[in-house]
Amino acid sequence: MFIRSLFAIGLAPLLANAYLSGSVGPTTSAATKSANKVCNVLDYGAVADKSTDIGSALNSAWVACRDGGVVYIPPGDYAFSSWVTLSSGKNTAIQLDGILYRTGTDGGNMIMVKHTTNFEMFSSTSKGAIQGLGYEFHKSGSTSGPRILRLYDVTDFSVHDLALVDAPVFHLSLDTCQNGEVYNMAIRGGDKGGLDGIDVWSTNIWVHDVEVTNKDECVTVKSPAKNILVENVYCNWSGGCAMGSLGTGVDVSDITYRNIYTWSSNQMYMIKSNGGSGNVENVLLENFIGHGNAYSLDIDGAWSSMSKVSGDGVQLTNVTVKNWKGTEANGAQRGPVKVKCAAKAPCKDVTIEDFAMWTESGSYQVNTCESAYGSGECLKNSEDYTSYTTTVTVKSAPTGYSAATMASDLKKAFGTASSIPIPAIPTSFYPGATPYSSLAGAQATSS
């Protein structure tokens, strides 16, 4: 599916305060590109023997097809030891139906696509994957190594039906991109910080129907970012979704997360900063289900894991949290509501409604608000905007906190000492929500 418009999929009536600003995805289909030209990496020296480096062949195929065509990586196992920077593409696609296994040890980006428009990267079988084998770095304590995939200055694009596994560092970064769509993805990393799933600092991006397993960011927005819609996301034993870390000159607006399921993760959603400056405006966090997470809603303007930066704090304005259900691990230690804003940059127009979370351990939970103004829970409903701290102890379970679980909830995290298996891409990412499109492999089988 291509040229996805928020109006075409019927989202326009729902988008009240923060959503997409226009169409996303490639402007022509992969089939149209393929009809123009196909550049099979086997014709450029690639060998599916899991030992011959595919890097040079992939680069050569890209050069041959970047002005209009499809770079085709057939089913098979390929070694990948020399990274590629694929630049200046127009009307092009990469069809990854094979599996790339990292064998090189350089840092940087295994695949970087930049300065490219009308682009698609996908698997037609939904079985294409990049196996980063990050455990080979992590088992000795190393935090170095390459990212798996980075897009920089790419417009009108999609990435879909791929698995990104065990990145040495980050899995997928969207850097200064526009009008993009990421969907039908499975990302599986180790139980270690710094192994982000999807990081977005871009404009007009739709991320949906993805599963992330790691111990850092699930799907995270960074600055600058505008008109980002994230929905139908399964954080399955992860760090959880977040915004930040936010520093100086922050410029983030019109951000929506909806239908987010979080299992056994660090948090359901966190906005993190410590000092800094700039603005976050128009954020909607809607339809969240959580179970067994350390934190639930965690807005922290003095995040201790981040060194304090210059400035009075990042100003948060018009943040709506609605329809949250489920359980947190220990509500006395980490209550389901923590809204801790900077005293000199208090949060304004914060709304918390239809919020029903309860503790899995103990018989009470403690909510905390600092310098946060609006309505709901422990927020202060005033316009004096002076510094304050309030804690509220809740001793009985709220009505309606019970929520569904997912059949694929992991029993334990993947470690960092052995290879992580390549998963099949799920067909469900949030209880009761139907993915926007079926897997490409299923479409191919039925056609």
Per-domain boundaries in the chain: 216-407+421-433
Question: Whole-model pTM above 0.85?
Answer: yes
Top-level class of domain 216-407+421-433: mainly beta
Rounded to an integer, what distance in angstroms lies between the CA atom of residue 132 and that of residue 220? Answer: 21
Burial classification of residue 310, based on how many CB atoms lie within 10 Å of its CB (0-12 exposed, 13-18 middle, 19 or more buried) = exposed
Per-residue pLDDT of the chain (447 residues; tens, 9 = 90+): 444 444 434 443 343 345 899 999 999 999 999 999 999 999 999 999 999 999 999 999 999 999 999 999 999 999 999 999 999 999 999 999 999 999 999 999 999 999 999 999 999 999 999 999 999 999 988 888 999 999 999 999 999 999 999 999 999 999 999 999 999 999 999 999 889 999 999 999 999 999 999 999 999 999 999 999 999 999 999 999 999 999 999 999 999 999 999 999 999 999 999 999 999 999 999 999 999 999 999 999 999 999 999 999 999 999 999 999 999 999 999 999 999 999 999 999 999 999 999 999 999 999 999 999 999 999 999 988 999 999 999 999 999 999 999 999 999 999 999 999 999 999 999 999 999 999 999 887 765
From residue 266, give the alpha-carbon distance in Å to each of 39, 149, 269, 296. Answer: 43, 24, 9, 8
Contacts (Cβ under 8 Å, ≥6 apart) of 35: none
Q: Which of 138, 199, 291, 300 is catalytic?
A: 291
- Residue 43 among the catalytic residues: no
Residue type, 118: N
- Residue 216 among the catalytic residues: yes
Which tens digits make up the pLDDT trace of 285-333?
999 999 999 999 999 999 999 999 999 999 999 999 999 999 999 999 9
Q: Which of 166, 196, 216, 298 is catalytic?
A: 216
Which residue bears the tokens 């894991």? 305
